[in-house]
Amino acid sequence: MGLTITEKIFSAHAGREVRAGEIVEVPIDMVIGNDITTPISIKAFRESGAKKLANPDGFSIVLDHFIPAKDIASANQAKISREFAWEHNLKNFFDEKDMGIEHALLPEKGLIVPGDVIIGADSHTCTHGALGAFATGMGSTDLAYAMITGGNWFKVPETIKVVFTGKLRPYVTGKDLILELIRRIGVDGALYKALEFTGDTIENLDMDSRFSLCNMAIEAGAKSGIIAVDEVTKEFLKDKDLAREPKFYYSDEDAQYSDIIEIDVSNLEPVIAYPHLPSNGHPLSQAIADDIRVDQVFIGSCTNGRLSDIEIASKIVKGKKVAKHTRMIVTPATQKILEEASKLGYIKDLVDAGAVVSNPTCGACLGGYMGILGDDEVAISTTNRNFVGRMGARSSKIYLSNSAIAAASAVAGKIASPDNI
């Protein structure tokens, strides 16, 4: 019986063949912390008596949630991480001078490499599976263990193979593929499984959409999402100074899957996840018919803050104005994306339309800052979660969408298609 990509990555790291269900300890290629989670890891690291990081070049701290600091508490959280990074002369430390949302910044920097095992104290670490790596979120004390030992324990997950077929319709993206999958299987439909995304639809999907797709694997309960390396991946990587030698793994034809899900996307509309779960998906046509007025539009996050998201939003709003009763907030995921979007004129078009463009931050996504919702307000957002109170007041409502639909909704003042504004 053959092996899946995930089993092959773990086998390579364990130095022997391993299969789903086995518990193994393997070395970690990249450990990722941020300004919220790292201070807890640092405390556990120090309490253990450890003096040195086991693999300093395989540890990254990205200050991205509340930076620049929103209050004294967040400033002190960042201070702990900064002092630790300076103490250990950490090479991969990213602060205000070179900032970005961790799951966009690290691939941009070449620190995420195909074939890696990656952990982060952030549930959306699974984003990096788009580059053919095994990437998953863990707790802060799990991070501390990896900081001390260079490795960690895993139960090798079973894999669900998801086969997407068909040509995507206009304004349908990787975000819609994952929302459609979650709609079908639910928020626990892939509990502790790896989601392996395949099919001719994936072959024709750009990297930004692949990142978005893998990013939300956790919203189906999955341990990871992964896409095999192909020419699209290699094109993304070719200008990167990669931290390690990439290793390409592919599932065997006779690999064993716990389930195979086939989805024909030929007639798929953009998917809107209604409150209060990512699984509460509905076609755009229904949302338009429901005449859903929006107070705030947010475009950004580790899910949809990449250059293609900024580009399509700018093109849709160019020459138009954000509706009088609606706020539009755009957060490029990295400084490099912001710089490139500025050079290409996207930022000007957005600002001219009435949007606010912020620094790279996770703040609005988790209801921290830079876009808090008030009582009973309604938002359409390109983020990954729409739980009760996720972006602010518990009485607020969040609808999840891709960037094109969010931008059109900003102009219309209600959930809308770009074709109807």
In a 3-state reduction of DSSP, which class is residue 396? Answer: coil
Q: Compute the chain's Rg from CA coordinates.
A: 21
Instruction: Work out the angle at residue 396's Cα, subtended by the Cα atoms of residues 308 and 386, and round it to the nearest 5 degrees.
Output: 45
Provide the token pair at 133.
Answer: 């790596």
The secondary structure of residue 130, as a DSSP letter, is G
pLDDT at 331: 97
Distances (CA, A) of 158 to 65, 263, 319: 32, 20, 50
* CB distance 103 to 135 below 8 Å: no
Decide if 227 contacts 214 (C-beta within 8 A): yes
* CA–CA distance, 380 with 36 (Å, rounded to integer): 25
The reported pLDDT for the residue numbered 421 is 87
Cβ-based neighbours of 147, under 8 Å, separated by 6 or more? 31, 41, 45, 50, 53, 54, 59
Residue 281 · residue 180 · CB < 8 Å: yes
Tens-level pLDDT at each residue, the chain (421 residues): 899 999 999 999 999 999 999 999 999 999 999 999 999 999 999 999 999 999 999 999 999 999 999 999 999 999 999 999 999 999 999 998 889 999 999 999 999 999 999 999 999 999 999 999 999 999 999 999 999 999 999 999 999 999 999 999 999 999 999 999 999 999 999 999 999 999 999 999 999 999 999 999 999 999 999 999 999 999 999 999 999 999 999 999 999 999 999 999 999 999 999 999 999 999 999 999 999 999 999 999 999 999 999 999 999 999 999 999 999 999 999 999 999 999 999 999 999 999 999 999 999 999 999 999 999 999 999 999 999 999 999 999 999 999 999 999 999 999 999 998 8
DSSP string of 308-376, one letter each residue? HHHHHHHHHHTT----TT-EEEE--SBHHHHHHHHHTTHHHHHHHHT-EE--S-STTTTTSSSS-B-TT
Task: State both tokens at 381.
Answer: 């957002």
Instruction: Identify the three-state secondary structure at position 93.
Output: strand
Listed residue (401, 405, 404, 400) closest to 390, CA to CA? 400
pLDDT at residue number 1: 86
Bridge-based pairing of strands 397-400 and 378-381 is: parallel
Burial class (CB in 10 A: 0-12, 13-18, 19+), 167: exposed
Task: With CA atoms as reference, report the closest residue to 58 among 140, 157, 139, 143.
Answer: 143
Q: What is the pLDDT of residue 187?
A: 94
Identify the pLDDT of residue 358. Answer: 94
Q: Which domains are delineated in the chain?
A: 5-243+256-262 (3.30.499.10), 273-420 (3.30.499.10)
CB 329 within 8 A of CB 356: yes
- Residue 33, beta-bridge partner list: 61
136 to each of 117, 282, 343, how far by Cα in Å?
A: 8, 28, 34
Q: What does 168-226 look like in DSSP terms, one character per residue?
A: PPTT--HHHHHHHHHHHH-TTTTTTEEEEEESHHHHT--HHHHHHHHHGGGGGT-SEEE
First-last CA distance in the chain = 54
Do 346 and 314 contact (CB within 8 A), yes or no?
yes
Q: Tell me how far apart the alpha carbons of residues 365 and 398 are, in angstroms, rounded to a whole number.
A: 11
CA–CA gap between residue 50 and residue 397 (Å, rounded): 45
- Is residue 371 left, alpha or beta, with left meaning phi > 0 and alpha meaning psi from -120 to 50? left
User: Among 352, 301, 326, 336, which Cα is nearest to 408's?
Assistant: 326
